[in-house]
Chains A and B, each alone.
Chain A
Amino acid sequence: MNQALKQAYGDPYLDIEEYDPEADLMVLNLGPQHPSTHGVFRLKLYLDGEVIVKAVPFMGYLHRGVEKLCEKLTYLQLVPIFDKNDYVSPMMNEQSLVMAFENLLEVEVPRRARYLRTILAEMQRVASHLLWLGAFAMDLGGALGGGSTLFMYCFRERELILDLFEEVTGSRFHYNTHTIGGNRHDLPSGWAAGVHRALRTINSRIDEYETFLTTNDIYLGRTRNIGVVDGDLALELGITGPILRAAGVDHDLRRDAPYHAYDEIEVRVPVQTAGDCEARSLVRLAEIRESIRIVTSMVDGVPEGPLTSRKPVKTAISEKIDHGHAYACVESPRGELGIYVIGGGANRGASPYRLKIRPPSLHALSCLPYVLPGHSVSDAVAILGSVDPIMGEVDR
């Protein structure tokens, strides 16, 4: 941690006793049961009056031992377990897991499946950012006020996308639509028309939300230069995703390390420089529009051909490998979601020896002890909302 960053931000390892003794600090526990901690997350705040002096995050309330479960279940059985990790964008979990296994087993994915995966991923990004937008408005505006109005609008639009997913995969949220070597559900006829209709509505409704957000001065007062995370701190903390792009660093895996069919399409990456809450929300709103543009350009041109490159799975012990490591990462709405898998585990090689998930939200949360000191409690809630952590992914 280079010295320049130490002065600019709060010190997470500040020793409370040395802080000036006569300031009587109040310890306030934000969470784990709190309306705006986006899941079970506890933030121990040391308050001097209403200004935060030190913030100590505590995690693990949602720890389910997913990585231990990976040692027992076979490759195919893990896919439905994994789309419950980041329960706001399940597509990305399944895709990164399945890509890691395909790396490990050296399996080729047919072009139609790669196109289908790109479309599903981008639609899931729109749905995930819409949910973030609603939750962020709730953090700023309160559950019984303007915030919940925008929350309802975002959920009304998100339903359109979930219905489209229901048409393809049969389930609204936990799809289990990916398998090693391709996808399990093909596109029903007439699906593309539904996608065009839904995305056109969402695109027009986004302008409506802008009246609540980017031009509304009360909102700007709550988000402009609040919780500034600049490029150096973000890179230092390993933060990726909208928070890094809002801090001015132009890094997006879809364009820099293309996977699926991203190398065949042009991905424009929105970047802001301010690094505060407002910049993060602008980046996410621009990303919604960008994803809509990508999906509408791709959804009619899905190439014909097979959906998977391996025979449909008929037994639990279907893939076997006894050695090798593989890493695959996906640009999830919160950053680089990576899966590192080591082959050769139990069930005679049919389950992984060790599987590690690189959760982008864990790194996003690690900026809190640096950024929170100096802000008030209502700012802390706004910053936590703009960082958009998902505890299912952080605690695994």
Chain B
Amino acid sequence: MTILGQVPSERCQALLRDRFEPRDCDTGGPPLVAVARHVELATTLRDELGYRIFGFVVAAHYPASKSQEDGVDQIRIAYGLRTVGPSSELAAWQVQVALGETVPTLAHLFAGADWQEREQYDLVGVRFEGHPDLRRLMLPEDWEGHPLRKDYAIDTQVPPWR
């Protein structure tokens, strides 16, 4: 794989292994970390290892059929941070939460996370607890439903002009 720095860097994986006992996610991707220690991980990554730029927060909805946990819809959220300057690396980890539960916000650590978390709440419907201003980012306020949920209508036939 010639593209460097796109997979979680060794430093980040080493930190995860020895301090945060990550579980490997069955659908692949970065290691899974317990929700309780999620903010602590982000703080250590930022302060000790220098991952200062907020990369991304991706929430994906796994309906009961696909997720293994006893038939309850799961939401897996992948986070990413990046270091600054030469040989910039990427740190990434995942957090899993049942539908309806809340995830502690990173907006106090990274102001950049503020809007990305609002977008995930807007599109996937995962609530970030402690977020200063959790409103919908893009859809109008009175929009009901979260479009990127798997149960959201997907095959609406595009009205042909013909």
Contact = CB atoms under 8 A, between A and B. Distances in A.
Nearest to A233: B111
A60 B78 contact: no
B148 A67 contact: yes
Nearest to A325: B29
A326 interface: yes
Nearest to A67: B148
B137 interface: yes
B4 A60 contact: no
Interface string A67-100: 1100110000000000000000000000000010
A256 B90 CA distance: 11
B36 interface: no
A395 B138 contact: yes
A336 B82 contact: yes
A251 B56 contact: no
Nearest to B136: A60
Given A60-B137, A326-B6, A13 B132 contact: yes
A323 B26 CA distance: 8
A238 B53 contact: yes
B1 to A, nearest CB: 7
A249 B27 contact: no
Contacts of B111: 1, 236-238, 366
Interface in B15-47: 26-30
Given A67-B123, A68-B147, A395-B138, A323 B2 contact: no
B136 to A, nearest CB: 8
Contacts of B84: 235, 249, 251
Interface stretch (A145-153, A162-170, A296-304, A338-346): A338-346
B115 interface: yes
Interface stretch (A43-51, A127-135, A275-283, A356-364): A356-364
A353 B110 CA distance: 27
B3 A65 contact: no
A283 B56 CA distance: 26
Interface residues of B, number: 52
Contacts, number: 137
Contacts of A329: 6, 55
B5 interface: yes
Contacts of B54: 238, 363
Q: B-side binding surface: helix, strand, loop or mixed?
A: loop
Most buried by A among B7, B84, B112: B112
Given A1-B111, A237-B112, A238-B53, A255 B28 contact: no
B78 A363 contact: no
A239 B89 CA distance: 16
A328 B60 contact: no
B87 A103 contact: no
B132 A328 contact: no
B137 A59 contact: yes
B53 A356 contact: no
A338 B27 contact: no
Nearest to B56: A358
B154 A327 contact: no
A68 B154 contact: yes
Interface in A281-317: none
Interface string B103-129: 000001011111110010001000000
Contacts of A71: 148, 154
B3 A323 contact: no
B78 A325 contact: yes
A274 interface: no
Given A236-B112, A255-B86, A340-B80, A103 B148 contact: no
A358 B154 contact: no
B140 interface: yes
Given A67-B148, A237-B111, A342-B58, A327 B4 contact: no
15 contacts: A1-B108, A13-B132, A59-B138, A60-B139, A63-B139, A65-B147, A67-B123, A68-B154, A235-B52, A238-B113, A327-B80, A328-B3, A340-B78, A344-B27, A362-B119
By Cβ-Cβ distance, the 5 closest A-B pairs, closest first, are A238-B112, A325-B29, A60-B138, A238-B54, A256-B88
